[in-house]
Amino acid sequence: MFPELITIGETMVLFEAAADGPLQYIHQFNKKCGGAESNVAIGVTRLGHSAGFISQVGDEEFGKFVISSIRGEGVDTSRVKINEDFSTGLYIKETLREGSNQVYYYRKGSAASQMKKEELDWEYLRQAKVIHLTGITPFLSDSCEELIYAVAEFAKENNILLSFDPNIRYKLMSDKPDAKDIVLKIAKLADLVMPGIDEAEYLLGTRDYNEIAQYFLNAGVSKIAIKNGDIGTYYDSKEDEAGFIPSIKVDRVVDPIGAGDGFAAGLLSGLLEGKSLKEAVTMGSTIGAMVVTVKGDVEGLPRREALENFHRKSVDVLR
């Protein structure tokens, strides 16, 4: 059985500081794994949908850990290749204080950066209802950039919904003078684009919701959701379905990392279920709010019952 949603990218081993403060003074770490694309796949799976993840990891214990962690969440990892010549990427998360994080990446030349379009199982991709990409993967290497373009074109040719989260990583893009053009080229091939307001400003030079939406819709995108943190999300589509969903207020933000991936998982799950864009954005916003109340990238991603309970409580609070 082929998964409904397939995503492609890099999942790294995460060493999360066991205490708050600068890493210079931290001596213990918790080992986890994380990556934007696999986070979305896990989020979709927890909501009752099937998801597949395509990547490469090293032929070492860290690579085994990444595969077993993602597979243990119910995600299909059958197309994750084990590369004998390159290592699994690493990153370290520093928490200076609750709600304030810094991330350090050690991923240059990683196994995932060796992915090539020639190695993809195109028949596997052809069966998907949704392919989800981010603006991270094309900056891992030249071959990854070519792969992402090829997958985007493939989705378009085969009428597969292509979802794109710019997920801009400025450190990763720093040596690419044409970084904006690369992100915009992929975005224009997508059916659904979900930038953060800061990302949209970086790409287009404006924070005006309508201007941003019209730029992408005129470029061929059919749906757009513009995330603005704890303020809300503006959405629009070629079906003239436009509006704004205020963010759900939470008592305190424990860890903001992963909120965007939770949003994407909720929105895409909603669309897989045939919900309207408004309903899907509401679902994504609810999950984004849930994620920031829990420490960790995927720990706050809810299962269906938890999502419904949280939403009911949120509605009660708003009343």
Which are the catalytic amino acids? Answer: 261
Task: Give backbone dihedrals phi and psi of 177, rounded to 5 degrees, phi first.
Answer: -65, -25
Are 132 and 6 spatial neighbours (Cβ–Cβ below 8 Å)? yes
Are 277 and 240 spatial neighbours (Cβ–Cβ below 8 Å)? no
Residue 260: closest CA among 184, 187, 199: 199
Give the chain's radius of gyration (CA, Å): 18
Dist CA 81 CA 55 (whole Å): 6
Q: How far apart are the first and last CA of the chain?
A: 44
Dist CA 280 CA 163 (whole Å): 13
Are 89 and 12 spatial neighbours (Cβ–Cβ below 8 Å)? yes
Dist CA 137 CA 116 (whole Å): 12
Are 48 and 305 spatial neighbours (Cβ–Cβ below 8 Å)? no
Task: Give backbone dihedrals phi and psi of 189, rounded to 5 degrees, phi first.
Answer: -85, -10
